[in-house]
Structure 1
Amino acid sequence: MKSMLNGILIVITSLFLMTNVLVSNVLAVKDAGQAARYLRIGVGARALGMGGAFVAVADDASACYWNPAGLVQLKNKEVQAMYSLLSIDRKYNFLNYAQPLKDDRCFGVSVVDFGVGDIRETKSPEDKNIGMFDDQENALIVSYAGNMENGLLLGGNLKYITQSMNPSEGKQSAYGISIDMGMLWKAKPNLTVGLLLQDVGGSLKWNTGHKDC
Structure 2
Amino acid sequence: MNCLKKTVLFTLLLLGISLSAQTVRKYSNEFMNIGVDAAAFGMANAVVASTSDVNAGYWNPAGLLKLEDNQISLMHAAYFANIASYDYAAFAMPLDKESVVAFSAIRFGVDDILNTTQLIDDQGNIDYNRISLFSTADYGFTFSYARALPLDGLNVGVNAKVIRRIIGDFASSWGFGLDAALQFETKSDWQFGVMARDITTTFNAWNINEEKFAEISGAVEGQNQELPETTEITLPKLQLGVAKKWVFHYDFSLLTEVDFNFRFAETNDVFSSSFASMTPAAGVEFGYIDLVFVRVGAGNFQNITQLDGSDSVGFQPNIGVGFKYKGIQVDYALTDIGDQSAALYSNVFSLKLDWSLFR
* Alignment TM class, shorter chain as reference: 0.7 to 0.9
Assess if the C-alpha contact under 8 Å between 1:34 and 1:212 holds in 2. no
Assess if the C-alpha contact under 8 Å between 2:179 and 2:197 holds in 1. yes
Give the counterpart letter for 2:204 in structure 1. L
**Higher Cα radius of gyration:** 2
The Cα shift of 1:152 comes to: 1.0
Secondary structure, in 3 states, of the residue corresponding to 2:58?
helix
Secondary structure, in 3 states, of the residue corresponding to 2:192?
strand
Tell me the residue number matched to 1:202: 202
Select between 97-106 and 65-74 the one with higher mean Cα deviation.
97-106
* RMSD of aligned alpha carbons: 2.5
Distance 1:192 1:157 in 2: 21
Tell me the residue number matched to 1:24: none
Select between 83-92 and 62-71 the one with higher mean Cα deviation.
83-92
Assess if the C-alpha contact under 8 Å between 1:84 and 1:91 holds in 2. yes
Distance 1:155 1:113 in 2: 23
Which has the larger helix fraction? 1
Assess if the C-alpha contact under 8 Å between 2:164 and 2:174 holds in 1. yes
The Cα shift of 1:134 comes to: 2.4
Q: 1:137 to 1:98 in 2, by over 3 A?
A: same
Secondary structure, in 3 states, of the residue corresponding to 1:175?
strand
Distance 1:32 1:176 in 2: 14
Give the counterpart letter for 1:207 in structure 2. N
Q: Does 1:65 align with 2:58?
A: yes
Structure 2 counterpart of 1:109, from 83, 103, 117: 103
Give the counterpart letter for 1:138 in structure 2. Y
Assess if the C-alpha contact under 8 Å between 1:137 and 1:162 holds in 2. yes
Structure 1 counterpart of 2:42, from 37, 41, 49: 49
Give the counterpart letter for 2:31 in structure 1. Y
Tell me the residue number matched to 1:175: 174
User: Which residues in structure 2 correspond to 1:1-213 (within 5 Å)?
Assistant: 34-88=27-81, 89-119=83-113, 133-150=134-151, 151-166=153-168, 170-200=169-199, 201-208=201-208, 210-213=230-233
The Cα shift of 1:34 comes to: 2.5
Distance 2:92 2:181 in 1: 16
Give the counterpart letter for 2:100 in structure 1. C
The Cα shift of 1:101 comes to: 1.2
Distance 2:46 2:147 in 1: 22
Give the counterpart letter for 2:167 in structure 1. M
Distance 2:183 2:202 in 1: 23
Assess if the C-alpha contact under 8 Å between 1:156 and 1:182 holds in 2. yes
Unaligned runs of 5+ residues in structure 2 are 1-23, 118-129, 209-228, 234-359
The Cα shift of 1:193 comes to: 1.0
Q: 1:32 to 1:41 in 2, by over 3 A?
A: farther
Distance 2:61 2:167 in 1: 31
The Cα shift of 1:120 comes to: 5.7
Secondary structure, in 3 states, of the residue corresponding to 1:207?
strand
Tell me the residue number matched to 1:25: none
Secondary structure, in 3 states, of the residue corresponding to 2:69?
coil
Assess if the C-alpha contact under 8 Å between 2:25 and 2:232 holds in 1. no
Give the counterpart letter for 2:92 in structure 1. A
Percentage of matched positions with identical amino acids: 29
The Cα shift of 1:119 comes to: 4.3
The Cα shift of 1:212 comes to: 2.0
Distance 1:199 1:64 in 2: 14
Secondary structure, in 3 states, of the residue corresponding to 2:186?
strand
Q: How many pairs were matched up?
A: 176
